[in-house]
Chains A and B, each alone.
Chain A
Amino acid sequence: MAQQANIGELLSMLDSSCLLVLEDITAVFKDNLNSDRGPMLVNALVDYYLETNSQQALHILSTLQEPHEKHLLDKINEYISKAATRLPTLSLLGYVIRQQPSWKHKLSQGPLLLSLLKCLKTDTDVVVLTTGVLVLITMLPMIPQSGKQYLHDFFGIFGRLSSWYLKNPGHVAEIYLVHLHASVYALFHRLYGMYPCNFVSFLRSHYSMKENLETFEEVVKPMMEHVRIHPELVTGSKDHELDPRRWKRLETHDVVIECAKISLDPKEASYEDSYYSVSQPVSICFQHRQTDPNASPYIDTHSSYGTSTSTPYSASRLTLAQMQGQLPQILSPQSMRLSTEPQQVTIWSPSAICGMTTPPTSPGIVSSESSHSSSQPYSKYFSTPAGGKGTPLGTPATSPPPACISDDFVHISLPPAAATPPKKEDKLDLGRPSLSRQQNVINSERASEVPGSKSSVNLSDLPEFLGCLASDEDSVEKDREEDAISKEISEITTADAEPVVPRGGFDSPFYRTSESLPASQRKPHSVACSVQGHSLSSEPVASSLDKLGHEGAQDTPKQAFTPIDRPCGASDENPAGNREGQSSMETSIFTPSPCKVPAQRRVGFGSGQPLSYEHLFEVALPKTAYLFVSKKTEELLKQVKGNQNEDCTSSTSPMEVLDRLIQLGADAHTKELNKLPLPSKSADWTHFGGSPPSDEIHTLRNQLLLLHNQLLYERFKRQQHALRNRRLLRKVIKATAMEEHNAAMKDQLKLQEKDIQSLKLSLQKEQARYHQFQEEHDNIVAQLHSQIRQLQHDREEFYNQSQELQTKLEDCRNMIADLRFELKKANNKVCHTELLLSQVSQKLSNSESVQQQMEFLNRQLLVLGEVNELYLEQLQHKHADKSKEVEMMKAASRKELEKAKFCVQQQSQRLDASQKRIVELESQLSKKDHLLLEQKKYLEDVKIHARGQLQAVESRYKAQKRITQAFELEILNLYSRWEKDSLLKKLDDEKTEAAEAAEERLDCSIEGFADSVTGYSEEAFGRNGETKPPSTRGSSSSKGGSSSELSTPEKSQNQRMGQFSNRREASMLPEPSTSVPLTVGSLPSSKSFLGMKVRELFRNKSESQCDEEGMTINSLSDTLKSELCKDPSLEAKVPSNLDNPSPSPMNQEGSVGPLHIMDYNETHHDHS
């Protein structure tokens, strides 16, 4: 709550007059907006704005940041749906959108767009509709992509509004319809520019219906005459133009320019395109021609120009120059800059259109129709030659001739005048006609101005215009016209209002510094011509004129010398202000034809802005002038603003100033209107179709509002253009930089080429030298080669010679060797022969001695021969015979040999026989062995056989033995049972007697046995003791101890005693299990305690009474024992077998084993 109150306070302070407070409040609001995200503050601001129309609130709202936009849009949406607040809300929305907020893409997402469309579809208030359409048009390029879903809504709105114009269902004032039509026209352009295919198809379908045919003929068709064929119609398709990729690259201003490009309308079209100029010159000429149909000289002169111009180019030049020449004279021939401005004025003058379309004297439909029809050929006629003209005029930068000139200008910078020589010539040539024309123009201007300025006249004119427009359906121009008219009215009103405002503004420092020339001039003019006719106004005019002259002179050189200065100067000023001023200036200047205003503004952008930025390109003279004019107007505006808001603040934007200016003007105008005499008013009102005069004020207000909206829309367009221009400029700068770079590169290239050339030359020289050297070198080499060859030849010869000599040398050596060898041989021979010689001599001496010996031996031989013959004779005499004895011996030996041989034969025969015998015997032996083996096998077999049987038998035997044992066991068992039974009977008898003496005996027995026995044995002994005394009373030893009893030499019980002692021993030894040894000891009764008791009872019985019985039992046991002892093989087994039936463990058996043996031994001993 506190906050709300706080907000209320703040809001009330928002429109405070104090500057500081204002700043503070704004800051506070911004802080609040930054900190608070809630919708409250925004809502409050919106409410406040709607209540008070506060500019501050509007400012804050239009600069809202991201998070708040939702609330704002919601709020706006809310108010739009209410009829009462619709109009101001729409204008607020328009303001906000025109600021191009960062969240503009969200516009299409919210319900706002829908409700806006709904409003446009359903509302019947023209003012609201116009405002809404303008908002929509502004919005469309911002949401090209997301808006496509509402495409048919847009088209529907277009269809509705276009037919509205014709049908006028609300029966509103035609003047509204003019506004509405203008906005519809803009919508047409926008839609056609953005979605041509869809739009055309819509048109096709919508206007193919019969009921719409009239609308098409009357409204749409004329619109279509002002657009050229959209390229998208050829290349694109319905889907393609809705493709997001198409819009992705384009910014808002791109879209706007795109739309402007396809327009043939000079007021809509963009300057960038060459074909734009087609329309411009037409309009120029058209306008010129039609400015004043009455002023024939103008037409004449114009036609004379037309005739004088031989070539299109020169014609264009001429016309240009003419205009330049003549128009300056209209206002002030002192400066060229001024002249351009009026020229532009004339070019764009809507008055021409006014004249064309509406001859003021004849407001009939037929006449207008005829004029229209007459205008058509003109336009056609002029359009053809204008093609060449337009380019230099409209776009000097792009067309070659002006570019050259501009280049010249830039570099050479002609100081004396910015005007080009041809222009000067033109001026000279056309001096006179221009004069006359100037007057004409002035006249026409005045003529139009006067009625314009005079409210009464103006008012009277308006209906005429409107009537014409209403009848004449050539809408486009007329729309503009209408707008212009309304604007003009407002301008005039402002002009009227100006005097109300203190005029000291001209004298103010603003005025001086700003050097506002034409506008200030103009305004005084208009002022002078105005009804009021202030004397004051003339003075400033004069002074301003003087100043103009002075400052114009100052300006011209400046501009001419330094083209750079110009933009600097322009940039010094606030560009916005510049534009602002320009537009306002124009509105103020071109009174007669206010329809030019938007177009004029465009021109201002198109020409003025590039000028202000670009210093690299020379601009055609008219443009520079125009720039200056705009500057001046801006200054003027500043001044005006200063006048208005001197106390407020100088920092407020000129836009706001303008808005306020217009509003103030409107107020002033209403005052003026009220002052007017009623009759005239009423007379005028009748033209409106009898609408009551009280409505008039309202109508005018609405008109004003509409005008304001239109203005804002145009401003928005201008902004888009500015953006685009900036971008273009950047591109241009880049391009020039690249060009310079290229030039520098080219220079470098040239230098390098030169270098290459020189290098090539030196290379050639070097090559020549190199060749020379090569040749010399070759020569020397050849010489040397020949020398070498000669020398080689010589060398070969020498070599051959040496070879020959060497062979000779070799031969000689061989010969020497041979000779030496022969010498050796010879020497050897000599030596040998010498040796032989000595040997021979020796042999000789030997042979001589041998001959002597031979002679001696021969003699001896002879002697011996004679002796031999002598001995032979002696021998033959002595021969005797011993042969008989030898014969005998031989015979004896032969006989003996025979005998021996016989003996040997005998022996060998015997041997054979014996050997045979041996073999026989051996075979027999082997047979016997075999037999033996078989026998053995058989034996074995039999053995096994027998063993098998034997085993069976043995097992049988064993079984038998077991059976007998079992039987014995059974028998013994039965015996023991029987004995026990009988004993028990006896015990029952004895018990009665022994009852009294039982206790003391028991004591004694305990005394005797306390240390040695436990458990049952103790009890048993106790019982023993119990039973004994009565039985052994007669015996000497009645001590009650069994040990004493043991020692008693009772012969009858000897065996039993042995048994008993044995049992006792056994019972003593394994104490823990007394029963088992007892059973072991007492062989027959092995049935634990029962058996033992039986034994004891049995013993007692035998002791005392039944001796014979005891004897029998003892003998039985003895026989059993002896039996057992007899079988030594079973001796070991028996105890175990006996034990087996009892569940005695094996380990006890082991300990019992030796005991048994001892037992047996004892028993044996006893026996024996």
Chain B
Amino acid sequence: MAEDSQRNFRSVYYEKVGFRGVEEKKSLEILLKDDRLDIEKLCTFSQRFPLPSMYRILVWKVLLGIIPPHHESHALVMKYRKEQYWDVYHALQVIRFIKDSTPQVEVFLRMHQLESGRLPRNLAFPLEPEDEVFLAIAKAMEEVVEDSIDCYWLVSSFVNQLNNKYKDFLPQLPKVLEQYLNMEDNRLLMHLKACSAMSKLPYNLWFKKCFAGCLPESSLQRVWDKVISGSCKILVFVALEILLTFKMKIMALNNTEKITQFLENIPQDNTDAIVSKAIDLWHKHCGTPVHLV
């Protein structure tokens, strides 16, 4: 109780000074202490606050259903996952799809293909766009997660979530982006339309790959927090914020190809700020989320 009161007493000042996340960490710990993890609450928390990095993997795994909400079954389930991973890995090795030298990402891809039954007949088979997306996400995830098993499961679940849960929603995102861009900066929209670049923005990179490869991992995981916790609309706002931040440069460019090229390779220096602003913008437009899709 004494600790609690002290914490509360400080929290007022944390808020005022602008430290966010100190309070959240505690409350997340409280949430995680529950035996049966309340996934709804975790979702809301993840949407509302940035996740502390030490709990991020755990929360993601829980949210993506890699481990069940019960603490006691975690070990067991993780054991299963691990075995499954090695089984698949072994199988792929047996059928010589992967070797020891095969990069981790491709291993993940093959495993995922195998699991989803889409394994090509042989290695020479060209990669499909889906696979490209997977590779990009896996590469980004690999940076975030150290453990390869965790990483595989997170990537796999993340991609599955994108393909299942957001299947219908993702194609609409460009339109949503245009709508919000109209609200935020009409001139920029006009310019983009005038350059007929609106339809050629890197939507694939933004919305299918969820900015994997576009943003550095430190920023990306904050975006993915929101995506994993159930809102893919944040992708629109990140894209919007990117456009607004580089407005001057975009306005200076008249060529569609140039704009697209620039947006695909945006400078990586202040992406944290972009993401923060994007989240603020998202909160502004969609309200502080209680539960959003």
**Chain A residues in contact with chain B, CB under 8 A?**
941, 944-945, 947-949, 951-953, 955-956, 958-960, 962-963, 965-967, 969-970, 973, 1087, 1137, 1140-1142
Establish whether residues A956 and B69, one from each chain, have CB atoms under 8 Å apart when the complex forms. no
Which listed residue (A941, A948, A959, A1087) contacts B87, Cβ 8 A?
A959
Establish whether residues B77 and A962, one from each chain, have CB atoms under 8 Å apart when the complex forms. no
In the complex the two chains form, what is the Cα distance from A1019 to B69 in whole Å? 61
Q: A944-B36, A1087-B121 are in contact. Are A966 and B73 (CB under 8 A)?
A: no
- B66 to chain A minimum Cβ distance, whole angstroms, is 9
Q: A959-B88, A963-B87, A1141-B119 are in contact. Are A948 and B68 (CB under 8 A)?
A: yes
Establish whether residues B84 and A948, one from each chain, have CB atoms under 8 Å apart when the complex forms. no
CB-defined contacts of B84 to chain A, threshold 8 Å: 952, 955-956, 959-960
CB-defined contacts of B114 to chain A, threshold 8 Å: 959, 962-963, 966
CB-defined contacts of B69 to chain A, threshold 8 Å: 944, 948
Which listed residue (A948, A970, A1142) contacts B77, Cβ 8 A?
A948
- A969 to chain B minimum Cβ distance, whole angstroms, is 8
In the complex the two chains form, what is the Cα distance from A1137 to B113 in whole Å? 12
- B88 to chain A minimum Cβ distance, whole angstroms, is 5
Q: A962-B114, A1140-B118, A1141-B121 are in contact. Are A948 and B73 (CB under 8 A)?
A: yes
Which listed residue (B36, B73, B117, B121) contacts A962, Cβ 8 A?
B117
Pairs A–B under 8 Å by Cβ, sample size 13:
A945-B68, A948-B67, A948-B69, A949-B68, A952-B77, A952-B84, A953-B80, A958-B115, A962-B114, A963-B87, A963-B114, A970-B94, A1087-B121
In the complex the two chains form, what is the Cα distance from A237 to B54 in whole Å? 105
- A980 to chain B minimum Cβ distance, whole angstroms, is 15
Establish whether residues B70 and A941, one from each chain, have CB atoms under 8 Å apart when the complex forms. yes
Q: Is B83 an interface residue (CB 8 A)?
A: yes
Q: Is B91 an interface residue (CB 8 A)?
A: yes
- A1026 to chain B minimum Cβ distance, whole angstroms, is 29
In the complex the two chains form, what is the Cα distance from A731 to B72 in whole Å? 136
Establish whether residues A960 and B80, one from each chain, have CB atoms under 8 Å apart when the complex forms. no
CB-defined contacts of B267 to chain A, threshold 8 Å: none
Q: Is B95 an interface residue (CB 8 A)?
A: yes
CB-defined contacts of A952 to chain B, threshold 8 Å: 68, 76-77, 80-81, 84
- A789 to chain B minimum Cβ distance, whole angstroms, is 101
Establish whether residues B117 and A965, one from each chain, have CB atoms under 8 Å apart when the complex forms. yes
**Chain B residues in contact with chain A, CB under 8 A?**
36, 65, 67-70, 72-73, 76-77, 80-81, 83-84, 87-88, 90-92, 94-95, 114-115, 117-121
Establish whether residues A949 and B88, one from each chain, have CB atoms under 8 Å apart when the complex forms. no
- B292 to chain A minimum Cβ distance, whole angstroms, is 24
- A1090 to chain B minimum Cβ distance, whole angstroms, is 12
Q: A944-B70, A945-B68 are in contact. Are A970 and B117 (CB under 8 A)?
A: no
Establish whether residues A944 and B88, one from each chain, have CB atoms under 8 Å apart when the complex forms. no
- A1094 to chain B minimum Cβ distance, whole angstroms, is 15
CB-defined contacts of A948 to chain B, threshold 8 Å: 67-70, 73, 77
- B267 to chain A minimum Cβ distance, whole angstroms, is 40
Q: Which of B72, B95, B118 has the most CB of A within 10 A?
A: B95
Q: A952-B80, A959-B87 are in contact. Are A966 and B70 (CB under 8 A)?
A: no
Which listed residue (B65, B68, B87) contacts A956, Cβ 8 A?
B87
CB-defined contacts of B72 to chain A, threshold 8 Å: 945
Establish whether residues A956 and B91, one from each chain, have CB atoms under 8 Å apart when the complex forms. no
- Output the nearest chain A residue to B85 by Cβ-Cβ distance: A959
How many Cβ-Cβ contacts under 8 Å join chain A to chain B? 80
Establish whether residues A970 and B95, one from each chain, have CB atoms under 8 Å apart when the complex forms. yes
In the complex the two chains form, what is the Cα distance from A1137 to B84 in whole Å? 20
Establish whether residues B115 and A962, one from each chain, have CB atoms under 8 Å apart when the complex forms. yes
CB-defined contacts of A949 to chain B, threshold 8 Å: 68, 73, 76-77, 80
Establish whether residues A962 and B88, one from each chain, have CB atoms under 8 Å apart when the complex forms. yes
Establish whether residues A951 and B65, one from each chain, have CB atoms under 8 Å apart when the complex forms. yes
- Output the nearest chain A residue to B96 by Cβ-Cβ distance: A970
- Output the nearest chain B residue to A1136 by Cβ-Cβ distance: B117
Establish whether residues A1140 and B95, one from each chain, have CB atoms under 8 Å apart when the complex forms. no
CB-defined contacts of B119 to chain A, threshold 8 Å: 962, 966, 1141
Chain B interface, DSSP helix/strand/loop, else mixed: helix
Establish whether residues B83 and A956, one from each chain, have CB atoms under 8 Å apart when the complex forms. yes
- Output the nearest chain A residue to B118 by Cβ-Cβ distance: A1140
In the complex the two chains form, what is the Cα distance from A967 to B119 in whole Å? 12
In the complex the two chains form, what is the Cα distance from A1140 to B116 in whole Å? 10
CB-defined contacts of A973 to chain B, threshold 8 Å: 121
CB-defined contacts of A1140 to chain B, threshold 8 Å: 117-118
In the complex the two chains form, what is the Cα distance from A1140 to B73 in whole Å? 35
In the complex the two chains form, what is the Cα distance from A970 to B80 in whole Å? 25
Q: A952-B81, A955-B84 are in contact. Are A966 and B36 (CB under 8 A)?
A: no
Q: Which of B72, B77, B92, B94 has the most CB of A within 10 A?
A: B77
CB-defined contacts of B117 to chain A, threshold 8 Å: 962, 965, 1137, 1140
- B280 to chain A minimum Cβ distance, whole angstroms, is 36
CB-defined contacts of B120 to chain A, threshold 8 Å: 1141
In the complex the two chains form, what is the Cα distance from A142 to B118 in whole Å? 120
CB-defined contacts of A1087 to chain B, threshold 8 Å: 121
- Please give me the 8 A-B residue pairs with the lowest Cβ-Cβ distance, nearest first: A948-B68, A963-B91, A952-B80, A956-B84, A952-B77, A970-B95, A945-B70, A959-B84
Q: Which of A945, A949, A952 has the most CB of B within 10 A?
A: A952
CB-defined contacts of B94 to chain A, threshold 8 Å: 967, 970
- B108 to chain A minimum Cβ distance, whole angstroms, is 14
In the complex the two chains form, what is the Cα distance from A973 to B95 in whole Å? 11
Establish whether residues B68 and A944, one from each chain, have CB atoms under 8 Å apart when the complex forms. yes
- Output the nearest chain A residue to B128 by Cβ-Cβ distance: A1143
- B42 to chain A minimum Cβ distance, whole angstroms, is 15
In the complex the two chains form, what is the Cα distance from A111 to B230 in whole Å? 104
CB-defined contacts of A956 to chain B, threshold 8 Å: 80-81, 83-84, 87
In the complex the two chains form, what is the Cα distance from A955 to B95 in whole Å? 20
Establish whether residues A967 and B91, one from each chain, have CB atoms under 8 Å apart when the complex forms. yes
CB-defined contacts of B73 to chain A, threshold 8 Å: 945, 948-949
CB-defined contacts of A970 to chain B, threshold 8 Å: 94-95
- Output the nearest chain B residue to A946 by Cβ-Cβ distance: B73
Known: A945-B72, A948-B73. 20 other contacts (CB 8 A): A945-B68, A945-B70, A945-B73, A948-B67, A949-B73, A949-B76, A951-B68, A952-B77, A952-B81, A952-B84, A953-B80, A956-B81, A960-B87, A962-B114, A963-B87, A963-B90, A963-B114, A966-B95, A967-B95, A1137-B117
Q: A944-B70, A945-B70, A956-B83 are in contact. Are A963 and B88 (CB under 8 A)?
A: yes
CB-defined contacts of B76 to chain A, threshold 8 Å: 949, 952
- A1058 to chain B minimum Cβ distance, whole angstroms, is 27
- A1111 to chain B minimum Cβ distance, whole angstroms, is 28
Q: A948-B67, A956-B80, A1140-B118 are in contact. Are A941 and B36 (CB under 8 A)?
A: yes
Q: Which of A947, A959, A970 has the most CB of B within 10 A?
A: A959
- Output the nearest chain B residue to A941 by Cβ-Cβ distance: B36
CB-defined contacts of B88 to chain A, threshold 8 Å: 959, 962-963
- Output the nearest chain B residue to A961 by Cβ-Cβ distance: B117
- B84 to chain A minimum Cβ distance, whole angstroms, is 4
CB-defined contacts of B90 to chain A, threshold 8 Å: 963
- B92 to chain A minimum Cβ distance, whole angstroms, is 8
In the complex the two chains form, what is the Cα distance from A949 to B95 in whole Å? 29
- Output the nearest chain A residue to B80 by Cβ-Cβ distance: A952
- Output the nearest chain A residue to B76 by Cβ-Cβ distance: A949
In the complex the two chains form, what is the Cα distance from A962 to B14 in whole Å? 52
In the complex the two chains form, what is the Cα distance from A1141 to B36 in whole Å? 41
- B35 to chain A minimum Cβ distance, whole angstroms, is 9
In the complex the two chains form, what is the Cα distance from A588 to B95 in whole Å? 160
- A1144 to chain B minimum Cβ distance, whole angstroms, is 12
- Output the nearest chain A residue to B72 by Cβ-Cβ distance: A945
CB-defined contacts of A945 to chain B, threshold 8 Å: 68, 70, 72-73
- Output the nearest chain B residue to A942 by Cβ-Cβ distance: B70
- Output the nearest chain B residue to A1141 by Cβ-Cβ distance: B121
Which listed residue (B70, B77, B115, B121) contacts A959, Cβ 8 A?
B115
Q: Which of B68, B69, B72, B114 has the most CB of A within 10 A?
A: B68
In the complex the two chains form, what is the Cα distance from A959 to B112 in whole Å? 10
- B283 to chain A minimum Cβ distance, whole angstroms, is 32
Q: Which of B65, B80, B118 has the most CB of A within 10 A?
A: B80
